[in-house]
Structure 1
Amino acid sequence: MNIADQLVLSAGDGDVIEVARLLGQGAVVDAPNRHGRTALDRAVEQGHADVVRELVGAGANLEQQAGEYQESTPLCLAASQGHTAVVGVLLDAGAGTGAQGRLGYVPLILAATTGDEGHPETVDLLLDRGVDINAVMKHKTALDWAVRFGQEEMVHRLIDRSAIPSAETLAAAREHLGHHPERRRKTERIAVALLAVDVAPGTDQEPRTEAGNLA
């Protein structure tokens, strides 16, 4: 096993002492292993914040490709996994928070929508650090995506954090109901929550009109 493979393996295992030793012996911090994964990539994926901090301190590229298919970035990967401590380390190091990676992922939207109800603590951390709650990915905000996936708790959380619904947001609720008619009560509760908030300016349709179509 060469030194790059050893570094990536140790990073994925969370062995910060071994990672520091290998770096001290001259291991290149962003050198990929035989599978194309780097130490930062694997440490982020496994949620090892202390290892991530060590690698970032050694100059690891915060914008590098990450994930099994190299489709992501370290911050997006951490956000999608709900590794809040890792997200904090990456933000402290200056990681960008806008659309990134070859697929244009937005960290906040991944944190809000991955899994059954997203990752609330990660969402709160990103928003506390000033991330734009109305940033879009594929023309939809985190709130739009949460509504579309029927994530009731996340919808409430985003509204509480001042997310602004639009007529399109309620259209997303209608779309969710169309795909999941068995979830009517849940979708109606989401619609009620949206109706309690003023619609975003500039939309061409009143949200209450859309809500009526859920009935």
Structure 2
Amino acid sequence: MDMTDQLVRSADDGDAVSVARLLKHVAAVDAVGTGGRTALDTAAERGHADVVRLLLGAGADPQQRAGEHQESTPLCLAASRGHRAVVEVLLDAGAHTGAQGRMNWVPLVLAATAGDEGFPETVDLLLDRGADVNAVMKRKTALDWATGFGHVRMVRHLLSRGATASNRGTDPRV
């Protein structure tokens, strides 16, 4: 296994000691492993904030394409899994909160709709750091999406944070 693959595997495992050791020997921190993923990509998806911090400190691009098909970004992956600490580290490194990645995912929408009821703490962090509560993804806001998924608590949460219904035929009053 080459050094890049070792770095990606260690990041995926959350092994910060190994990642720190390997970063001294890997030429490009954003190198893609044989599985098509980078170390930052996998660490963000798995929720390893300490590893994400190490990779960013070594120069990893917080806006890089990520995901199995390079359709996303590290921020979107972390937001969609409710990894609040990783989202915070990425935002601190300059990741923006608007539509991103090849699919134009909106991190706020992903955080509001993933899982059983979304991830309110991640939603709050994104909003507190400048995300637009009424940002649109595929012609719907986070409120529209949460309503459509029947995430009653998230709908109430978004309304309490100033979300307004779009004119797409959804009724957020729950």
Question: 2:34 is paired with a residue of what secondary structure?
Answer: coil
Partner of 2:147: 147
Consecutive unaligned residues of structure 2, counting only runs of 5 or more, are none
Distance apart, 1:68 and its partner CA: 1.5
What's 2:86 paired with?
A: 86
Give the secondary structure class of the aligned counterpart of 1:51: helix
> For each residue in 1:9-64, what CA deviation from the matched residue of structure 2 results, as whole angstroms up to 9, or x when unmatched?
11111111111111112342111111111000110111000000000011101111
Task: Indicate the residue corresponding to 1:133 in structure 2.
Answer: 133
Q: Which residue of the partner structure matches residue 25 of structure 2? A: 25
What is the aligned-residue RMSD (CA, Å)?
Answer: 1.2
Structure 1 stretches of 5 or more lacking a match?
174-189, 194-215
Could you say which residue in structure 2 is the equivalent of 1:172?
170
* Greater relative CO, 1 or 2 (CA 8 Å, sep 6+): 2
Q: Distance in 1 between matches of 2:161 and 2:33?
A: 41
Partner of 1:115: 115
Once superposed, which parts of structure 1, at least 4 consecutive aligned residues long, lie more than 6 Å away? none
1:166-208 superposed Cα distances (whole Å, 9 cap, x missing partner): 443xx224xxxxxxxxxxxxxxxx53x4xxxxxxxxxxxxxxx
Query: Does the Cα contact within 8 Å between 2:66 and 2:72 map onto a contact in 1?
Result: yes
| TM-score, structure 2 normalization | 0.96
Aligned pairs, how many?
A: 174
- Listed one character per residue, the Cα deviations across residues 143-167 of structure 1 (whole Å, up to 9, x for unaligned) are 0111111110100000011111244
TM-score normalised per structure 1: 0.78
Alpha-carbon distance in 1 for matches of 2:95, 2:42: 17
Question: Which structure has more helix as a fraction of its residues?
Answer: 1
